[in-house]
Structure 1
Amino acid sequence: MLFLIEHQSTFINEWINMSVIENDDPHKAEIEKNAVTMYGLLIKALSDTYSEAELQEFAYKVGKQRLEAGINIGDFIFNVNTGRSILIKYCFQAQLPHHELESFVNNLNSLFDSFCYHAVKRYTQLKNRELHTKTKYINENHMDKLAILGQISSSFVHEFRNPLTAIIGFNKILRDEYPDLKYLDIIQHELNELNFRITQFLHTSKTEIVKKGKENVAIDLLFDNLKQLCYASTVDNKINLTIDKAKPLFLYTFKDELKQVLLNLIMNSIDALKQRSSSRELRISTTKNAKEVIFVISNNGPMIEEENTKTIFEPFYTTKELGTGIGLFVCKQIIEKIGGTIYCKSDENWTSFFIHHPISS
């Protein structure tokens, strides 16, 4: 112990010099003081005069400082173990008898292990509390935005839905009276698209699906309808649309909601494929097992980075220049409300959206 007291300043200087310390660390001036305190606790431990409560209080203080400094917790562990290694080196230089050396190393490891445990525990507690606060703020902020959007959508739907319904009605009359008149089908398609976009806004303010809309849906007929709706877009953009509907499949579900999700994913795929100069492929397929039907919508457009495959389902996140950032969010809301899951996988060749739809008994 006398050897440690005599070499304290040498040890502290070496420990500080070998530690990872950022220049902008707000507690940089405290680091040397903390090293001195730790050194003092070791001397107390060797003389059986220190208490675990004292060590814990000190470790909690350091853990809080390290969080405020925004450091990597790995750097902190490295610095602690650096001090441990230096102390053991000094211990061997003192040429202590074997039994004293063993006692010193045991006390040293016990002290440093306990210090690390309490400091990291405190760091983790405070970090989790900080993350919880930030997550709560983000969620509340999203809810505020959605509430505002819900209010806007109510006004938006009222102002646009009535004249849109009138136009759709008159267009139907024209198609009945003049079935051979050019462009009426295209006008109908675009009106349906506009109606679909309005419905997207409306869905953001809904909290649940209307249960009375559930019915038996022939998936092959649903695909035929979707193909008609996106026909003009696929032809105009020279996209090869392939739909796998070899086996007849019925699904007891909310037809309009499922149709909205599938159509949104198809239109998103078409938008993505516009960035490709040639060989534009869009594929839709279904598989079925005992518990669920799996829809897969794939395109060979640009790859979505892995870190963005989950973010794209967040509200108001968009990669489109004129995007609203609510399309995929609404899709996720609808699928989760019917008890299913939706996710995205992407590589250099294909970007695929998977929908797992549960099969009702």
Structure 2
Amino acid sequence: MTRFDKELAFLREHKGAIIGNWQVKIRNAYPGYYEGDTLLIETGRYFEYITGLHIPKEQHEIMSNAPNWAKRLVENNIPLHHILRSHHYWRSAMHEVLGESRELEVGRVLILLNELEDRMQYYQETVCHIFLELTNAKLSEQERAIIQLHDDRLNLIGKMAASMAHEIRNPLTSIKGFLKLIRENMTNEDGSKVYRYLNVVENEFENIHMQITGLLSFSKKRVMEEPFVQVTPRQLLDSVVSLLNPRFLNENVNLSIELLEEELLTIQKVAVQQVISNIINNGLDALTHVKHDKEMMIRGYVESETYVIEFTNNGPAIRPEIQKTLFEPFVTDKVEGTGLGLAICKTIMQKNNGGISFISVDERTTFTLNFQIREMREA
């Protein structure tokens, strides 16, 4: 027995009307979500919980079923705001029924509604708490699955890259040997033009070699096969720029280089040259869209414990929709691009205790390489 026997008896007498009222509201708000007999069974239990004031809310049997109900909501992809709106519809349905009674005292009805509201609030908070825990667990599981899929994808790329590099390296080794023999067997009578041709071929050979090194960064052997050596930033840059100098001349690009500080960088030289070559080539590709005054600037300087190299061009900005994912595999804005270049660059820089980033706005794109020089000095 409770002090609200009369009011509770009235509610139970109109149980069907209250539940029916609630169902109309929830189904109109979210059509297709709440159909079938299961809903009728659960709403009946919930009504008994709300009106069962003689049983403390914490001890009511419905609380033991709250985890199952929350799990069912998550499995059926029911949004959290449905739970909150449902609470509002229950309160509204009971208000409407109680408001039709002329026999009940308004003051007592208001006090009763406060107690019923407390029970509804308690159940809602319990279900919401479990719902959020289950949702977070589900999201974590999905994230792990995505990471695994991403790793599997990279492993596949690695196997393909290693296979391609192996097949290409064999004939390249032969080509390099024959180029060396040709140069050794040439005489002064053969003319300077042939020497220039040989220089071009050897430069292109080195460029291909760097591309293969980049591909190997996705294989299991990766770039860790290459030893670490000490080079100055100028030594690092000059060898790459000399290879790309014909392109700067042919495409009428003004190149300026400012290396304000010189440091010894302990790096994998060929791998990092691949990064620099990729960045410069991407910049030159962007400058093909510029009609006049094509410019590229390379700056090197020390900032705190870091040596920084910046590559800036005045080409168009990188499209905003791909900027956040630019270093991920297969992301590119080039029609015939593979989307692997910058992903390879990121891997190489990480292996060399460095980082790569960029800023791109209209008529100014800057890629930045960072090398930790404090650890280099200690090493």
**TM-score > 0.5 by shorter chain:** yes
Q: Does 1:63 align with 2:70?
A: yes
Q: Which residue of 1 aligns with 2:167?
A: 159
Q: Percent identity?
A: 24
Residue 281 of structure 1 and its aligned partner are, at CA, apart by 4.3
Residue 41 of structure 1 and its aligned partner are, at CA, apart by 2.0
Partners in 2 of 1:180 and 1:173 — Cα distance? Answer: 17
- Structure 2: which amino acid aligns with 1:264? N
Partners in 2 of 1:281 and 1:119 — Cα distance? Answer: 61
Structure 1 344/104 Cα, relative in aligned 2: closer, same or farther at 3 Å? farther
Structure 1 274/4 Cα, relative in aligned 2: closer, same or farther at 3 Å? farther
8 Å contact kept, 1:240–1:281: yes
Unpaired runs of 5+ in structure 2? 1-7
Question: Alpha-carbon deviations, 1:139-189, whole Å to 9, x = none?
Answer: 333444444444433432332213223334544666785544455444344
Q: Which residue of 1 aligns with 2:5?
A: none
Partners in 2 of 1:199 and 1:229 — Cα distance? Answer: 16
Question: Alpha-carbon deviations, 1:115-151, whole Å to 9, x = none?
Answer: 3333333333333343344333333334444444444
Unpaired runs of 5+ in structure 1? none
Q: Which residue of 1 aligns with 2:82?
A: 76
Q: Which residue of 1 aligns with 2:110?
A: 101
| Structure whose alpha-carbon radius of gyration is higher | 2
The TM-score, its normalising length taken from structure 2, stands at 0.75
Question: Alpha-carbon deviations, 1:229-270, whole Å to 9, x = none?
Answer: 322333444444443323334333333332222222222333
Partners in 1 of 2:130 and 2:20 — Cα distance? Answer: 27
Q: Which residue of 2 aligns with 1:257?
A: 271
Partners in 2 of 1:17 and 1:280 — Cα distance? Answer: 68
8 Å contact kept, 1:304–1:347: no
Residue 84 of structure 1 and its aligned partner are, at CA, apart by 5.7
Structure 1 103/4 Cα, relative in aligned 2: closer, same or farther at 3 Å? closer
- Structure 1: which amino acid aligns with 2:244? C
8 Å contact kept, 1:214–1:254: yes
8 Å contact kept, 1:150–1:205: yes
Partners in 2 of 1:278 and 1:328 — Cα distance? Answer: 27
Structure 1 211/51 Cα, relative in aligned 2: closer, same or farther at 3 Å? same
Q: Which residue of 1 aligns with 2:3?
A: none
Structure 1 172/303 Cα, relative in aligned 2: closer, same or farther at 3 Å? same
Residue 196 of structure 1 and its aligned partner are, at CA, apart by 2.0
Residue 320 of structure 1 and its aligned partner are, at CA, apart by 3.7
Structure 1 174/289 Cα, relative in aligned 2: closer, same or farther at 3 Å? same
- Structure 1: which amino acid aligns with 2:11? L
Q: Does 1:358 align with 2:372?
A: yes
Question: Alpha-carbon deviations, 1:13-68, whole Å to 9, x = none?
Answer: 4444544855454x544556544443332112x33255457444443333333323
Partners in 1 of 2:261 and 2:229 — Cα distance? Answer: 20
Partners in 2 of 1:166 and 1:145 — Cα distance? Answer: 33
- Structure 1: which amino acid aligns with 2:67? Y
Q: Does 1:86 align with 2:92?
A: yes
1:305 maps to which of 320, 340, 343: 320
- Structure 1: which amino acid aligns with 2:110? L
Partners in 2 of 1:249 and 1:133 — Cα distance? Answer: 46
Question: Alpha-carbon deviations, 1:294-346, whole Å to 9, x = none?
Answer: 3333443342325x334332334444444333322222222223343334444
Q: Which residue of 1 aligns with 2:11?
A: 4
Residue 208 of structure 1 and its aligned partner are, at CA, apart by 6.4
**Correspondence 1:1-361 to 2 at 5 A:** 1-19=8-26, 21-23=29-31, 25=33, 28-29=35-36, 30-31=38-39, 34-44=42-52, 46-48=53-55, 50-52=57-59, 54-73=61-80, 75-83=81-89, 86=92, 89-90=95-96, 93=99, 101-102=110-111, 104-112=113-121, 114-171=122-179, 177=186, 178-181=191-194, 183-206=197-220, 210=224, 213-275=227-289, 280-299=294-313, 300-305=315-320, 308-359=322-373, 360=375, 361=378
How many residues get paired?
356
1:230 is paired with a residue whose SS is helix
Structure 1 119/50 Cα, relative in aligned 2: closer, same or farther at 3 Å? closer
Partners in 1 of 2:365 and 2:159 — Cα distance? Answer: 34
- Structure 2: which amino acid aligns with 1:105? N
